[in-house]
Chains A and B, each alone.
Chain A
Amino acid sequence: MATVSDRQRELRNTACIVGVDESDQIGTLPNTSQLSLHLEAISNAVRDAGLKVRDVDGIFTAGQHSPATLGEALGVKPRYVDGTTVGGCSFIIMVGHAVAALHHGLCDVAVVSHGESGRSGTGVTRTRDTALSGQFEFPYGFGGATSYFGMITTRHMHEHGTTLEQWAQVAVSTRKWAALNPKARFRDPITVADVLNSRPVSYPFNLLNICLVTDAGGAVVLTRADRAKDCAKPPVYVRGFGEATEHVMVTQMEDLASSAATRLAGERAFSMAGVSAKDFNHVMLYDAFTSGPPIMLESLGIAKPGEGVQFFAEGRSTPGGRLPINTNGGGLSYTHSGMYGIFPIIEATRQVRGECGARQVPGVSCSLVNGMGGMLSAAGTLVLAGGR
């Protein structure tokens, strides 16, 4: 069991999320550059906090633009930068990094920013490190997340008897939330049969098992708890955070049917926060594929091995259900620009604040955010809570 040091535990509730927002629009945006998606999201999130862009002195971002590029574009000379890039959960991990930097006075207002023209490729220079994949994966036809995540999924089905119908239920549940989110790309209800009858992409995945590809930005603003009280909206406390990485190529996973990185990140975050699975009344899980959230629930110790899918059965995860999961409509139905991790943080913050309108879960006091980078390769976990 991974635990954290007393010094990490001392960071509990020392900083808060005070501002969140997306870019002006999300979806298909051929006329908006990737850099503009960042800048829109940052200016919107800073306004949400009741702060000014000039207040920002810590810049955290992952992906193709460095924090220096964002500082330059914003006309800000940050005191602290972080460009940790370990996949889509990088932004979740950076919330922890920002809490540490704020605590030590390395910056006073931290912004974690994401912008990705994942669908249109506007203002994008694609460069990838393919030294290992190029030798050991691409010659066999692998390429793109679907061709790898299916390996994890097929093995889970073999070891636990999980079925295609059970994975499909995750897509159905998530779409029910998307129907209540005006910003979601797909809002029409779907059935298990719709998922099973959608275009086969790569067994075990049909099209509706796979996330969207969109253009979108998102940003999260943090400051120390003492200063957070002066911001525009109720502060959302970062009660715990954890991170871990295990592998990059899926052949290197210790166990294909569960995620060591997710387990370790979760144990660290729960240990820091002093919480257990029963304390959460709202959950956000990075859903690039329908099999991801159930495997995450199992890896986090919230579900028993093989039983994660049961959390999505019989309406348990849907509006009015016992444990609402992915209430924004997820990467499956709301938006997924490529590195989705900023968006579950935004949704969890809004749910804790109670500003989600039709999709608001009553009385969210403690929200779990868990995301993956790559193919469950890296993981970041956050425990977010309302006023102490």
Chain B
Amino acid sequence: MDVDRPLPSPITPEAKPFWDGCKAEKLMLPRCEECAHVFFYPRILCPRCHSRRVGWMQASGRGTLHSFEIAHQAFQKAWKIKPPYVLAMVQLEEGPRLMSNLINVEASPKAIKCDMPVEVVFTKVSDEVTLPLFQPRR
């Protein structure tokens, strides 16, 4: 399969459950076992209470588009997808934000608004990697 974008690299040990989850089409988020804070990116202590007891939860895959850009050029050498494409920051229902792409939408500020509801679309990009992309919620 032709890879048209940079693959996540290096996958760190503390983030492996996230990437394994994506492969199984589950959006897994780290959650503090002490204070229940859900956060992203994965790390070995809770950034709110600093407990080292970090577990995982499955997220709903729903959120809102916190912010976006409409890129008219590539910002990575390995990026082969034709512009324009949408760089997205998603605010998940569970609290944390993550970067992604907004797909299945016209790449225009007329069609895309901050805070619009979005949902995850798991997109297999190689045999090893599935990415959580997002689309307008139907």
Contact = CB atoms under 8 A, between A and B. Distances in A.
Contacts of A138: 6, 8-9, 76
A154 B65 CA distance: 11
Interface of B: 5-12, 15, 40-41, 66-76, 79, 81, 85, 87-89, 96-101, 109, 113-115, 125, 129, 131, 133
Interface string A146-163: 110011101100100000
A99 to B, nearest CB: 32
Contacts of B100: 140
Interface of A: 131-132, 134-144, 146-147, 150-152, 154-155, 158, 199-205, 249-252, 256
B107 to A, nearest CB: 9
Contacts, number: 114
B69 A147 contact: yes
B98 A251 contact: yes
A86 B70 CA distance: 28
Given A150-B69, A150-B87, A251-B89, A140 B131 contact: yes
Tell me the interface secondary structure of chain B in the complex.
Answer: loop
A246 to B, nearest CB: 12
B69 A251 contact: no
A199 B96 CA distance: 34
Nearest to B98: A251
Given A132-B41, A150-B87, A141 B71 contact: yes
Contacts of A140: 5, 87-88, 99-101, 131, 133
Which of A135, A140, A146, A152 has the most CB atoms of chain B within a 10 A radius of its CB? A140
B59 to A, nearest CB: 15
Contact of B12 (A131, A152, A250): A131
B76 A155 contact: no
